[in-house]
Amino acid sequence: MDVKRIREDFPVLENSKGIVYFDNACMSLKPRQVIQAMLEYYERYTACVGRSNHRLGKIATEKYNEARKAIAKFVGAKKPEEIVFTRNTTEGINLVANSLDLKKGDIVLASDREHNSNLIPWQLLKERKGIEHRIVRSREDCTFDMEEFKKSMSRQVKLVTMVWTSNIDGYKLPVWEIIKTAHDFGALVLLDGAQAVPHSKTDVRRMDADFLAFSGHKMLGPTGTGILYGKYELLERLEPFMVGGDTVERTTYETHKFLNPPEKFEAGLQDYAGMIGLGEAARYLERIGMENIEKHEVMLNKLISERISQIPNLQMVGIQNPELRGGIISFNIRGMKYHDISLMLDHNHGILIRSGQHCCHSWFNARGIEGSARASLYLYNTQEEAELFAEAVQKIAKLGK
């Protein structure tokens, strides 16, 4: 993988020379190809998709449909109609939560490391409908407890909804085994793929995932774009929870007839430029190769971990083995606030990371951890940047003694 060549595609790296961007779990940078695809829509064929039958409308519709096909191919969907355009992972999860026919007493099972987006919707359904929301606790070493998960399964579990790759520490849950076990009990599976799909090969058919939600802004795509993948027969059964223009085939003053998936879930005028840009992002990542990206991130993570793990007053948060952490390094330095670490890295070293509880307040609160400093890597990060980061953390750690 030619990282030097890849970096030339990212204007932010050219326009903000001297920075090291290690906040990719929050937001990825955007390549010129994605930006140009969006500009092309605004400059050459701005029009409504699927509504206007003039020449610009036809071009816009063609490009929009091509984007859906590109994303379907990227995740291994059977057909483009299994790809629902959303604004982000959060909307995809909420769509499933509000569209599944869950009833009082139905059990929804989740891990103990869920993002708030895959926690709060189920807490609300517990309050409003009386479903049961149960948590599978991790082992002492923070790995997934498969035995505890199997003990938690029953015919009353209607949905298993779990994060695929945790944004706390980059740990990947054993989703293939989770899916198989859930299906053995007749339960559906919804995966939060926000941190997984941008960084590793995804094949929803081989995994046999029922639903998969992920965000465009974490995979080189535009902000405000996301995807909900669903098996087509399941999408047909779901009732839309946001309705209006472009969701119906016809209406009278008393009746309506919904369109087929995915249109029945895509109410109102969509972010056409954004979705066209997201399609280009999927093509870009495919050209690089997801296996190459994952291998590159693990290599950088190991390099950083080997260097900073020698710091006496540094504590890694979550999983300790860098090979199990993908592209995320989450840590604290005794005697220092995580926000202070982030600020010093920025102001003194030009290294941009995130600090806080990373929208996983429940996990941190359960362990009595206030938060962490989190560095997250991607395909355009270099070995030199990894070394600079390790050196900077070593210097900062000396201040905390």
Catalytic residues: 359
E strand spans, 217-277? 226-230, 248-251, 256-258
Q: Pairing mode, if any, of strands 188-192 and 132-136? A: unpaired
Neighbouring C-beta atoms of residue 400, cutoff 10 Å: 16
Secondary structure in 3-state letters for 340-369: HHHHHHHHHHCEECEEECCCCHHHHHHCCC
- Residue 262 phi/psi, 5-degree rounding, is -90, -5
Q: Kindly report the number of other CB atoms within 10 A of residue 124's CB atom.
A: 15
268: left (phi over 0), alpha (psi -120 to 50) or beta: left
CB-CB neighbours of 24 under 10 Å: 27
Beta strands at 226-230 and 107-111: parallel, antiparallel or unpaired: unpaired
- Please tell me the distance from the alpha carbon of residue 69 to that of residue 78, in angstroms, as a whole number: 10
For residues 16, 19, 25, 28, the Cα torsion angle rounded to the nearest 10 degrees is 20
Read off the DSSP letter of residue 26: T
Helices (H), 1-54: 3-7, 11-15, 32-44
